[in-house]
Amino acid sequence: MQDAHDLGIILDCRIPIIVLESHDELKALDLFMRVGRKRDKPVYQWTLTDGLQKVSFGLQLVKDTQHNEPEEVLQRIKGSAEPGFYVLCDFHHWLDDHPKNIRLLKDIAQKNTAGAITIVLLSHSLELPPELSRLSACFKISLPDDKQILSIIREEAKQWGQRNGDQKVKTDNDTLQKLVSNLKGLPRADIRRLVRGAIVDDGAITESDIPEVNQAKFKLMELDGILSYEYDTEKFTAVAGMENLKNWLDIRRGAFNGNSRGNVANIDSPKGILLLGVQGGGKSLAAKSVAGMWNVPLLRLDLGALYNKFHGETERNLRESLAMAEKMSPCVLWMDEIEKGLSTDNSDSGTSQRVLGTLLTWLAEKQSPVFVVATSNDISKLPPELIRKGRLDELFFVDLPDEKTREIIFKIHLEKRELDVNNFDLAELALVAEGFTGAEIEQAIVSAVYRGLSENGNGKGEAEESSDTSAQQRVVSQSLLLAELQATAPLSIVMAEKLAALRQWADERNMVRV
C-alpha cells in the first residue's frame, strides 16, 4: 500500500519518465496494474522478445500490435499511443550510444507534460543520460520488513509440508530470527528462492543453512568479495585488557539497541569508533567482539575490493555496500585497515577522493543503527576529515599489552588449546614476553606445540596413540614456551622507531587507551 501511495505522489506531479530499478519485474508490473486500475489508465509492457503488449489483470498479456525494436516502439508511443503507463523493460541497453532513442524519449516527455502518457524504464540497474534526468524521477519498490519476511518463510514451509505428506519444517526460534535478519535487503522473489533452497534438502531450517543463505544473498547483490558476513564473532571474555573500550561500549549498548532507560527523546545512536595501534594488538578481535557484545550481525567491508577500472563503478560499489549495511541494521560494519582503501593524493584520477567523500557524507548523515568499527595501523595515511569527532564517536589507541594483560592473554590461548594453565608460570611468561603483541604471544604458543610434538616423534608412536590434547599436555612445557619467546623478535623491536612515533602521536593528542 505504501508503494502505491508513493508512486501516486510522483504521478500527481505529472513527471513523464519514471526510472524503476528492480529485479522483481512481476512485482513492478503488478504495482502499476493496481495504480492504473485506480486511475483508469491501461498498462503496456515492452520487451525485446514480445514487443509492445497490453497487460490485463493477473499479469496476462493481451496482444495489441507488435513493435519489437526499441526505436520502433518509441516512434509508436510518440506518434499515436493512447494515454497509459508504458513499461519498457531492460531499456538500459538502448540508451548508451543511442542518441536517437534519447531524443525520442525527450520528445515524448516534453509532449506529455499533462501526464497522459508515463514512460516507465524498468531495469535491474539504469542510469539516465543528462538530457533526460530533469524530466524523470526515480522510484524504488520497498523491500519486505521482518514481519513480511517471516510470512514468506511460513508460506514456503507450508507449501513444502503439503508436498511432503503434511510434514512440519523443523527449526527453532533463534535460527528463524537469524534467517529473517539475514534475508533483509532482498526482494520477495529472491527471499522465496533462498528460503526454498534452505528447506528443500532436509525439511529443516538449521544454523548450518545461515552461511549458505548469506553467501547466496551477497552473490545476488553482486557484493560478494566486497561486503562479507562474518560468522565468527567473539565475546569480550576472549579479549584481554581493553577495559576502557569495554566500559565505553557497555554504556552505549542500550542506546544502540533502542533499549535505553528513561524517557530521553531523540537520543543519538552511536556512530562508530576508530581503533589505531600496532599490528597484532587485537584491533580485529575487538571489532568482532563489539558485534558479539551487542549481539548483532557483523559485516566486513573490504575497501580494497571496491575499486573498479570503469568510471563511477567504485563509488557505486561503496554506495551499494553501505545501503546493504543499512538494510541489515542493526549491525556492526567493520572496515579493516581503512587506510589501505583511502588515499589523500590524486594518483588514481580522483577516485579515492570521491570514495572518501561518499563515505564521509554517509557517516555524517546516516540514521540507521549501523555501528562502524574502523581499524588502522598507520594514522599518517588517514585523511583528517575522517578522524574528526562527528564522523566517528571516539578514537582509541591500542597499545602493547601491559604485564597483567599479557598474563591474561597467555591464559586465554593456553586454555583455547586445552592446556592446563596450572602447569605454567604465567607471571614469568608475561615478564619474558615484554613488548609482545597478543598475536605474537599466541604464535609463540602455537610454535611451542609444534616444536614439542616434533621433538617427541612428530606425532608418531606414543603421541599418535593418545589424543591430540593429551599429547600437547605432555610435550608443551614452561621451558619450551620460554625458549620460543626468547627466539622471537617482536614487532616492538623490529619496528621500534615506527612504534615510538605512533605512540608519541597518540600521546600528543590525548587519545584514549583501550
Tell me the per-residue pLDDT of 174-196, one tens digit each, with 9 for 90 and over.
889 888 888 887 888 889 999 99
b/e for 315-337, b at 16 or more Cβ within 10 A?
Answer: bebbebbbebbbbbbbbbbbbbb
Same-fold call for 2-139 versus 236-398: yes
Helix 146-163 and helix 173-182, axial crossing angle in degrees, nearest 10: 120
pLDDT of residue 136: 93
The matching CATH number, chosen from 3.30.56, 3.40.50, 1.10.8, 2.60.120, for 403-496 is 1.10.8
- β-strand pairing of 227-230 with 51-55: unpaired
pLDDT of residue 466: 45
pLDDT of residue 348: 58
* Residue corresponding to grid cell 554504556: 251
pLDDT of residue 452: 86
> 231, 392, 226, 188: which is closest to 320 by C-alpha?
226
What's 123's DSSP letter? E
> 83, 88, 87: which is closest to 41 by C-alpha?
83
For 454-457, the CB contacts below 8 A with 24+ separation are: none
Is 2-139 a domain of CATH 1.10.3720.10?
no
Distance CA 125, CA 99 (A): 19
pLDDT of residue 110: 92
pLDDT of residue 312: 64
pTM of structure: 0.69
C-alpha cell at 228: 562479507
Which 3 state secondary structure label does DSSP give 395? strand
Distance CA 42, CA 85 (A): 6
For residue 508, the Cα-to-chain-centroid distance in whole angstroms is 35
pLDDT of residue 91: 93
Q: In this structure, what is the dihedral angle of CA atoms 427, 432, 433, 435, given to the nearest 10 degrees? A: 120
Strand order in 227-230's β-sheet?
A: 227-230, 298-301, 331-335, 370-376, 272-277, 394-398, 512-513
Helix 283-294 and helix 243-257, axial crossing angle in degrees, nearest 10: 40
pLDDT of residue 388: 76
pLDDT of residue 261: 47
- Tell me the C-alpha to C-alpha distance, in Å, between residue 245 and each of 46, 274, 394, 504: 57, 11, 10, 20
C-alpha cell at 221: 547483490
pLDDT of residue 424: 93
Query: Where along the chain do its domains lie?
Result: 2-139, 146-220, 236-398, 403-496
Query: Which pLDDT tens digit goes with each residue over 11-53?
Result: 999 999 999 988 888 889 999 999 999 999 999 999 988 888 8
pLDDT of residue 169: 92
pLDDT of residue 75: 92
- pLDDT tens-place values along the chain, 514 residues long: 688 989 999 999 999 999 998 888 888 999 999 999 999 999 999 998 888 888 875 545 545 455 688 999 999 999 877 899 999 999 999 998 889 999 999 999 998 888 889 999 999 888 889 889 999 999 988 888 889 999 999 999 999 999 998 899 999 988 898 888 888 878 888 899 999 999 998 899 998 888 788 778 777 766 667 888 776 666 766 677 788 888 999 898 888 876 554 545 567 789 999 998 888 888 888 888 888 888 888 889 988 777 765 556 788 888 888 988 888 788 899 998 888 777 655 555 677 788 888 888 998 888 888 999 999 887 777 888 887 777 889 989 888 888 999 999 999 899 888 888 999 999 999 999 999 998 899 999 999 988 888 877 654 444 444 455 555 555 788 999 999 999 988 888 888 888 888 888 788 777 778 7
The whole-chain average pLDDT of the chain stands at 84
The CATH class for the domain spanning 236-398 reads alpha beta
